[in-house]
């Protein structure tokens, strides 16, 4: 199931070749609009919602030149899984205590359209990935402008002290940058020449951006992602290079630890770490949930309760907060509409059925993304697969499937990880 063996590679190649032959100008315009969408979608929320309109309109205009290749999307197992997830969410509204909120959560599935509108130009995948990476780096530029607000005496965005996230909400920005880190890290640790240089620069800029958001969940997710990609790099390195790669990584870890020890936490970063630790301790030991991190501990725990009581079907899409407040009215001011964790929220609202479907979507996406890089994990072709890992890790601390900006990233990454990659028709 994961390798899409039923898809006819030669037929797909012929269909793309015919598209280029019949409508090369339209194909190029389609690719340009796709790049514009991928560059702009990481912008502010309003831009995210509107960025795809020109691409969708143009996709509909040139239907007669692309309809022959639509069937390949409909035969992609991930399409059926996304359809199954949407159907299960819709069905769960029947037992949800808050169907209106459930409809809002169901609306996050709309980004599945990325699979269809990006597929006709997926043979330009290398350029599409570059446009996507450029948009995320532009978000880092917004963070830089945010950091310069006080020194230069202007204000573009108002955040809590120590939360430099530009036009993104700090939590959302941290999650999105975990995806960006996954995009750059493979090239930085396993690439060669200019690819490694670009990957290293992108990784450093992105890591700085993640730290600047002040989002502790993103810090943990980024650390886990670095560990995973580092392990892959060490395992895949040639024997003579393995020791060198390992020494370089150990040196980087020692340098980071030394800097942390010298500053002794007397920074905004240190303040966030100390505060988070004390709030977790108070929540676990004393049941004090009225703090920022304590509330997250509470919401995670109540999600476990909901899953334990309704393991198969969950409490229904949108029903998390209503269920929590009904079962713990004394703390009804703590819970949000979501559990602050993608898997825990999915389990609480959709049960093991929904959680299993989401897991299969991730597994199939990773398998397709790693196949699309054709074994070259040190290239940006491998980036979308590792970006999916980064976003999944960030999802341990944020409901990335519900927020419009991170849900858009999920749709894009699924689209950029096709199970079959057609040949590139550069001179058609």
Give the pLDDT of residue 92: 96
* pLDDT confidence band for 238 (50 / 70 / 90): low
392 versus 253: the higher-pLDDT residue is 392
Range scoring the smallest mean pLDDT among 107-111, 129-133, 140-144, 276-280:
276-280
Q: Is the pLDDT of residue 266 over 50?
A: no
Report whether 419 contacts 72 (CB < 8 A): no
Cα 263–269–273 angle (5° rounding)?
Answer: 105
Average pLDDT, integer, range 154-178: 89
Give the pLDDT of residue 66: 85
- Rounded mean pLDDT of the chain? 86
Highest-scoring range by mean pLDDT, 92-106, 239-253, 414-428? 92-106
206/139 Cα distance (integer angstroms): 10
Range scoring the smallest mean pLDDT among 80-84, 373-377, 396-400:
373-377
Range scoring the smallest mean pLDDT among 199-203, 216-220, 283-287:
283-287
Burial of 153 per CB tally in 10 Å (0-12, 13-18, 19+)? exposed
Q: What would the two tokens of residue 138 be?
A: 């532009």
Give the pLDDT of residue 375: 79
* pTM as predicted: 0.89
152 versus 426: the higher-pLDDT residue is 152
Q: Is the pLDDT of residue 239 over 70?
A: no
* pLDDT confidence band for 262 (50 / 70 / 90): very low
Q: Tens digit of pLDDT for each residue in 46-92?
A: 999 999 999 999 999 998 888 888 878 888 889 999 999 999 999 99
Report whether 306 contacts 324 (CB < 8 A): yes
Q: Tens digit of pLDDT for each residue in 10-43?
A: 888 888 888 888 889 999 999 999 999 999 999 9
Give the pLDDT of residue 23: 86
301 sits in which H/E element: helix 292-309
Give the pLDDT of residue 14: 86
Give the pLDDT of residue 251: 58
* pLDDT confidence band for 237 (50 / 70 / 90): confident
Percent of the chain predicted with pLDDT > 90:
57
Q: What is the 3-state secondary structure (H, E, C) of 337-388?
A: CCCCCHHHHHHHHHHHHHHHHHHHHHHHHHHHHHHHCCCCCCCHHHHHHHHH
- Tell which residue, 101, 158, 32, has the closest CA to residue 320: 101
160 versus 56: the higher-pLDDT residue is 56
Give the pLDDT of residue 162: 77
55 versus 335: the higher-pLDDT residue is 55
- Tell which residue, 119, 128, 129, 113, has the closest CA to residue 16: 119
Question: How far is CA 249 from each of CA 154, 205, 221, 234, 252, rounded to the nearest angstrom?
Answer: 40, 18, 18, 10, 5
Range scoring the smallest mean pLDDT among 69-78, 341-350, 380-389, 394-403:
69-78
Give the pLDDT of residue 102: 95
Report whether 387 contacts 366 (CB < 8 A): no
């Amino acid at each position: 199931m994961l390798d899409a063996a039923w898809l006819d590679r030669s037929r797909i190649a012929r269909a793309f070749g015919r598209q280029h032959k019949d409508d090369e100008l339209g194909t190029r315009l389609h690719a340009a609009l796709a790049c514009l969408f991928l560059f702009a979608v990481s912008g502010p929320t309003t831009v995210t919602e509107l960025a795809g309109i020109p691409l969708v309109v143009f996709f509909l205009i040139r239907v007669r030149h692309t309809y022959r290749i639509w069937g390949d999307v409909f035969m992609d197992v991930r399409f059926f899984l996304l359809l199954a997830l949407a159907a299960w969410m819709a069905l769960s509204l029947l037992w949800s205590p808050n169907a209106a909120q459930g409809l809002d959560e169901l609306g996050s599935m709309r980004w599945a359209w990325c699979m269809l509108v990006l597929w006709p130009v997926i043979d330009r995948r290398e350029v599409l990935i570059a446009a996507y990476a450029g948009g995320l780096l532009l978000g880092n530029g917004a963070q830089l402008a945010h950091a310069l607000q006080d020194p230069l005496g202007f204000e573009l965005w108002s955040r809590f002290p120590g939360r430099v996230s530009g036009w993104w909400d700090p939590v959302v920005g941290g999650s999105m940058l975990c995806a960006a880190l996954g995009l750059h890290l493979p090239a930085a640790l396993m690439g060669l020449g200019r690819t490694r240089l670009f990957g290293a620069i992108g990784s450093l800029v992105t890591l700085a951006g993640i730290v600047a958001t002040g989002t502790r969940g993103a810090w943990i997710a980024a650390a886990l992602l670095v560990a995973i990609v580092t392990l892959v790099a060490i395992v895949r390195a040639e024997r003579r290079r393995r020791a060198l790669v390992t020494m370089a990584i150990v040196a980087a870890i020692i340098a980071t630890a030394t800097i942390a020890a010298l500053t002794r936490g007397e920074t905004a970063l240190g303040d966030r770490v100390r505060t988070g630790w004390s709030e977790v301790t108070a929540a676990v030991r004393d049941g004090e949930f009225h703090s920022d991190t304590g509330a997250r501990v509470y919401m995670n725990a109540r999600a476990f309760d909901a899953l334990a009581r309704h393991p198969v079907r969950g409490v229904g899409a949108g029903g998390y907060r209503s269920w929590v407040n009904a079962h713990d009215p004394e703390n009804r001011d703590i819970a949000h509409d979501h559990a602050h964790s993608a898997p825990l929220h999915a389990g609480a609202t959709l049960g093991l059925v929904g959680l299993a479907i989401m897991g299969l979507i991730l597994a199939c996406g990773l398998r397709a993304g790693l196949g699309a890089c054709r074994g070259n994990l040190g290239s940006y072709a491998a980036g979308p697969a590792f970006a999916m890992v980064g976003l999944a890790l960030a999802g341990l601390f944020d409901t990335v499937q519900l927020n419009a900006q991170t849900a858009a990233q999920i749709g894009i990454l699924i689209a950029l990880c096709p199970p079959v990659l057609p040949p590139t028709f550069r001179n058609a």
